[in-house]
C-alpha cells in the first residue's frame, strides 16, 4: 500500500512543477484539478479497513476538486474574458526551478521531523510541505486574481495531504467543513472576478491596491 | 544463443513497424484510415532503389553521417537487454557507452547538417543540440537511479527486475523515472510535444530539417536509424514500466513485442491528444524531465 501512496504523491509533486511551468490558465486549472482528484484517492489508500467516513471524504474531495471547482473556474474565465496567459512576476522557468528547490528543501527538512512509525516510509510530510510551498509561490508570483485562487487551491491540496497524517484523529465533520469553506471561497471569488472585471476592466492585482469610491 | 538470434532479428526487423503503429493510431484518432502498418518498410524499400543526389558543397561527412548514426544506434541496441533476456554484449559500465553511442549518432547527424552549408539545416542542428543538452542529463539521472536500485553498473543486470529493492522505497522513484524517460523518448525521437515529424516548415522543424538534403539510400538510412533509435529507447523504458516476465522464452518474446507495440500506441495517443509546444517552451518540458529523473535519484539516496 505504501508503494501506491508514494507513487501517487510523487505524481502530485510532478504536477506541482507542471502547474508552475505551464503558460495557459486553462492548463493550470486542469493540472490542479487532476492533482485534487488524485489526492481524493488518498483516504481510501491510507485507511485500512475502508470505513464510511473515508469513502465519503474521498468522493466529496474528488467530485468537488476534480469536477465542480475546475468547471466554475473555467466558466469564470470565459465570462470575464481574461486573456489566457498567466502573468508571472518571475518567469515560468525560474519559478519551476524554485519549485524544484523548495521540493528538495521539503525532502531534506522532513527527514529531520519525528513522525509516527506507521507513517515513516510514506512521503506524506515532504509532499505536503512541498505542495504548500509551491502554493505560496503560485500565490505570490502571479498577478491575475484567478491564478491566485489556483495558488490557494494548491495550498489547500498540501494541507489536505498533511491532514492524512491525522486522519484517525480528525472527525469527518472537520474534513467536510474544510471542503465546504474551499467551495464557498472559490464560489465567491468566481463571482467577484466577474464584478471586478466589469468595474475595473482589469484583473491585474497590481491595480487593485487603491481604494476609491 | 537462440535468444541472441531473436534479439538481432527483432532489432533489425521490428523498428520500422513502430512508426507505422504510431501513424495508424494517430489516423484512427483523426477519423482517417491512415497509411498501412507496413508503410515504413515500403518507404525504405523505395528509397533504397533510388539514385543519390549530392550537393557540391558537401564533403565525406555528409555521406558518412547516416552510416555512422545507424551503426551507433545498432550498437546501442546490442548493449541493451530486450525484455527479460540478457543483452548480446554486456560489461561493467556499458551504460556510459550506451548513452554516448546515442550522442555519437547525434553528433554526426548535426555535423552532416552543418556540412551542407544550408542556413536552415544549421538552425535545426543548433536546436537539436540545445535540446539534447537537457535530454542527456535526464537519461543519465534515470540510469543512475536504476543503478542505485540494483547496485549494478551494467545495463543487463541493472535493467532486469528494477523492483528488486523494497517495494515501498523503489516504487515512487520508478514512477518519476518512467515519466522522465517518456519525455526523453518523445524528445529524442522528435515526437509531437517537442517536434512534429510530419511538418515541412523549415522554421519550426528540428530533426526533419537536418536531413532535408539527404536523398535516396542515405535518407533511407536516416529513417531506418531513427526507427531503431525509437525501438531502443522504447525497450529501455519498457524495463521500467513493464518489468513482467514468466521465465518461459516462448511467452516472454511475444509479450515483449506486444508491450513494444502497446508503447507505440501510447506514443500515438499522446501525439493525438497534445498540441505541439512552442519552440521556446520545449526546454521547460525537458527540464521537467531532468527534475523528474533527478528527484527519483534523490529519493533513493535520501
B153: Cβ–Cβ under 8 A, 6 or more apart, which residues?
Answer: B92, B93, B95, B147
pLDDT at position B156 over 90: no
What integer pLDDT is reported at residue A199 of this predicted model? 72
pLDDT at position A209 over 80: no
Which range has highest mean pLDDT (A20-24, A186-190, B34-38)?
A: B34-38
Q: What is the mean pLDDT of residues B10-35?
A: 93
What integer pLDDT is reported at residue A213 of this predicted model? 60
Q: Which of A197-201, B151-155, B253-257 has the lowest mean pLDDT?
A: A197-201
CA of B172 vs chain A CAs: smallest distance (Å):
4
d(Cα A162, Cα B270) in Å, to the nearest integer?
Answer: 33
Beta carbons of B295 and A10 less than 8 angstroms apart: yes
Q: Mutate which of A2, A4, A10 to disrupt the B interface (most B C-beta within 10 Å)?
A: A10
pLDDT at position B11 over 90: yes
Bigger pLDDT: B4 vs A144: B4
What integer pLDDT is reported at residue B142 of this predicted model? 94
Query: B77-99 burial, b for 16+ CB within 10 Å, e for fewer?
Result: bbbbbbbbbbbbeeeeebbebbe
What integer pLDDT is reported at residue A202 of this predicted model? 66
What integer pLDDT is reported at residue B230 of this predicted model? 94
Q: What is the mean pLDDT of residues B194-210?
A: 76
Closest Cα to residue B125, out of B137, B136, B109, B101?
Answer: B109
Q: pLDDT tens-digit profile of A31-47?
A: 999 999 999 888 888 87
> Which chain A residue has its CA at the smallest distance from B297's CA?
A104
With cell 511475444, the residue in question is B254
Closest Cα to residue A94, out of A28, A23, A20?
Answer: A20
Q: What is the mean pLDDT of residues B187-212?
A: 80
Question: The whole model's pTM is what?
Answer: 0.86
Picking from A10, A18, A96, the nearest residue to B172 by CB comes out as A10
Report chain B residues whose CB lies below 8 A from the CB of A9: 172
Q: pLDDT tens-digit profile of A117-148?
A: 777 778 889 999 999 999 999 988 888 878 88
A4 interface with B at CB cutoff 8 Å: yes
What integer pLDDT is reported at residue A212 of this predicted model? 65
Closest Cα to residue A4, out of A111, A123, A117?
Answer: A123
pLDDT at position A99 over 70: yes
Kindly give the residue spans of alpha helices, DSSP state H, lying in chain B: 2-13, 17-30, 39-49, 60-79, 94-115, 119-150, 155-159, 167-188, 207-210, 216-241, 249-273, 282-301
Q: What is the mean pLDDT of residues A2-16?
A: 88
Beta carbons of B257 and B10 less than 8 angstroms apart: yes
Report chain B residues whose CB lies below 8 A from the CB of A101: none
Give the ipTM: 0.72
Q: What is the mean pLDDT of residues B246-268?
A: 91
Picking from A14, A21, A23, the nearest residue to B176 by CB comes out as A14
What integer pLDDT is reported at residue A211 of this predicted model? 67
Picking from B172, B285, B291, the nearest residue to A9 by CB comes out as B172
Q: pLDDT tens-digit profile of B210-237?
A: 888 899 999 999 999 999 999 999 999 9
Which range has highest mean pLDDT (A101-115, B226-240, B274-288)?
A: B226-240
Bigger pLDDT: B168 vs B102: B102
Domain boundaries, chain A: 2-207
pLDDT at position A107 over 90: no
Q: What cell numbers appear for B279 in the block?
A: 519552440
Picking from A6, A92, A107, the nearest residue to B298 by CB comes out as A107
What integer pLDDT is reported at residue B190 of this predicted model? 85
What integer pLDDT is reported at residue A169 of this predicted model? 66
pLDDT band at B200 (very low <50, low <70, confident <90, very high): low
Picking from B172, B283, B292, the nearest residue to A123 by CB comes out as B172
pLDDT at position A207 over 90: no
Q: Backbone phi, then psi, for A200, in 5-degree steps?
A: -115, -10
Q: What cell numbers appear for A15 in the block?
A: 504536477
Q: What is the mean pLDDT of residues A54-79?
A: 87
What integer pLDDT is reported at residue A49 of this predicted model? 72
Bigger pLDDT: B171 vs A171: B171
A21 interface with B at CB cutoff 8 Å: yes
What integer pLDDT is reported at residue A58 of this predicted model? 86
Q: pLDDT tens-digit profile of B74-130?
A: 999 999 998 888 888 889 989 999 999 999 999 999 999 999 988 888 888 999 999
Bigger pLDDT: A76 vs A204: A76
CA of B279 vs chain A CAs: smallest distance (Å):
13
pLDDT at position B2 over 90: no
Name the percent of chain A lying above pLDDT 70. 91
A85: β partners:
A24
Contact A21 B295 (CB under 8 A): no
> Which chain A residue has its CA at the smallest distance from B165's CA?
A3
d(Cα B291, Cα B302) in Å, to the nearest integer?
Answer: 15
Beta carbons of B20 and B39 less than 8 angstroms apart: yes
CA distances from B238 to B162, B255, B266, B269, B277 (A): 11, 11, 12, 17, 25
Contact A11 B175 (CB under 8 A): yes
Q: Mutate which of A16, A100, A112, A118 to disrupt the B interface (most B C-beta within 10 Å)?
A: A100
pLDDT band at A170 (very low <50, low <70, confident <90, very high): low
Cα Rg of chain B, angstroms: 19
Q: pLDDT tens-digit profile of B33-63?
A: 989 999 999 999 999 999 999 989 999 999 9
Mean pLDDT of chain A: 83
A45 interface with B at CB cutoff 8 Å: no
Mean pLDDT of chain B: 89
Report chain B residues whose CB lies below 8 A from the CB of A17: 288, 291
What integer pLDDT is reported at residue A173 of this predicted model? 77
Q: What is the mean pLDDT of residues B67-79?
A: 95
Amino acid at each position: 500500500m505504501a508503494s501506491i501512496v508514494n507513487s501517487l504523491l510523487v505524481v502530485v509533486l510532478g504536477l506541482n512543477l507542471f502547474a508552475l511551468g505551464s503558460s495557459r490558465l486553462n492548463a493550470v486549472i486542469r493540472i490542479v484539478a487532476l492533482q485534487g482528484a488524485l489526492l481524493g484517492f488518498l483516504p481510501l489508500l491510507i485507511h485500512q479497513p475502508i470505513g464510511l467516513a473515508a469513502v465519503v471524504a474521498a468522493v466529496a474531495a474528488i467530485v468537488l476538486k476534480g469536477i465542480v471547482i475546475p468547471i466554475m473556474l473555467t466558466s469564470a474565465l470565459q465570462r470575464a474574458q481574461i486573456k489566457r496567459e498567466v502573468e508571472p512576476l518571475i518567469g515560468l522557468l525560474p519559478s519551476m526551478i524554485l519549485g524544484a528547490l523548495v521540493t528538495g528543501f521539503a525532502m531534506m527538512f522532513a527527514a529531520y521531523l519525528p513522525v509516527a512509525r506507521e507513517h515513516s516510509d510514506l512521503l506524506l510530510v515532504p509532499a505536503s510541505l512541498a505542495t504548500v510551498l509551491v502554493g505560496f509561490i503560485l500565490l505570490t508570483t502571479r498577478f491575475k486574481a484567478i491564478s491566485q485562487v489556483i495558488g490557494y487551491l494548491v495550498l489547500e491540496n498540501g494541507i489536505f495531504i498533511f491532514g492524512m497524517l491525522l486522519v484517525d484523529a480528525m472527525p469527518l465533520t472537520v474534513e467536510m467543513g474544510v471542503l465546504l469553506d474551499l467551495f464557498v471561497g472559490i464560489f465567491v471569488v468566481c463571482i467577484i472576478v466577474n464584478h471586478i472585471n466589469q468595474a475595473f476592466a482589469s484583473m491585474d492585482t497590481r491595480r487593485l491596491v487603491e481604494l476609491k469610491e | 544463443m537462440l535468444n541472441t538470434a531473436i534479439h538481432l532479428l527483432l532489432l533489425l526487423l521490428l523498428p520500422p513497424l513502430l512508426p507505422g503503429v504510431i501513424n495508424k493510431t494517430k489516423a484512427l484518432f483523426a477519423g482517417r484510415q491512415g497509411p498501412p502498418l507496413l508503410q515504413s518498410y515500403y518507404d525504405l524499400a523505395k528509397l533504397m532503389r533510388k539514385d543519390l543526389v549530392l550537393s557540391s558543397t558537401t564533403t565525406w561527412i555528409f555521406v558518412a553521417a547516416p552510416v555512422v548514426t545507424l551503426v551507433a544506434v545498432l550498437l546501442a541496441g546490442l548493449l541493451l537487454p530486450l525484455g527479460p533476456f540478457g543483452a548480446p554484449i554486456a560489461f561493467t559500465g556499458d551504460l556510459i557507452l550506451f548513452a554516448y553511442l546515442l550522442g555519437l549518432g547525434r553528433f554526426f547527424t548535426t555535423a552532416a547538417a552543418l556540412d551542407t552549408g544550408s542556413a536552415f539545416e544549421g538552425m535545426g542542428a543548433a536546436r537539436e543540440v540545445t535540446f539534447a543538452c537537457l535530454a542527456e542529463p535526464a537519461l543519465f539521472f534515470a540510469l543512475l537511479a536504476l543503478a542505485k536500485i540494483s547496485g549494478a553498473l551494467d545495463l543487463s543486470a541493472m535493467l532486469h527486475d528494477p523492483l528488486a529493492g523494497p517495494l515501498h522505497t523503489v516504487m515512487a522513484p520508478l514512477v518519476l523515472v518512467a515519466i522522465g524517460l517518456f519525455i526523453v523518448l518523445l524528445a529524442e525521437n522528435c515526437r509531437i510535444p517537442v517536434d512534429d515529424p510530419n511538418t515541412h516548415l523549415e522554421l519550426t522543424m528540428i530533426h526533419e530539417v537536418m536531413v532535408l538534403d539527404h536523398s535516396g539510400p542515405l535518407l533511407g538510412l536516416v529513417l531506418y536509424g531513427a526507427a531503431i533509435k525509437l525501438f531502443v529507447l522504447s525497450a529501455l523504458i519498457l524495463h521500467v514500466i513493464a518489468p513482467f516476465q514468466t521465465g518461459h522464452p516462448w511467452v516472454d518474446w511475444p509479450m515483449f513485442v506486444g508491450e513494444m507495440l502497446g508503447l507505440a500506441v501510447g506514443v500515438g495517443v499522446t501525439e493525438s491528444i497534445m498540441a505541439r509546444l512552442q519552440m521556446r517552451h520545449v526546454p521547460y518540458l525537458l527540464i521537467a524531465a531532468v527534475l523528474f529523473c533527478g528527484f527519483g535519484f534523490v529519493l533513493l539516496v535520501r
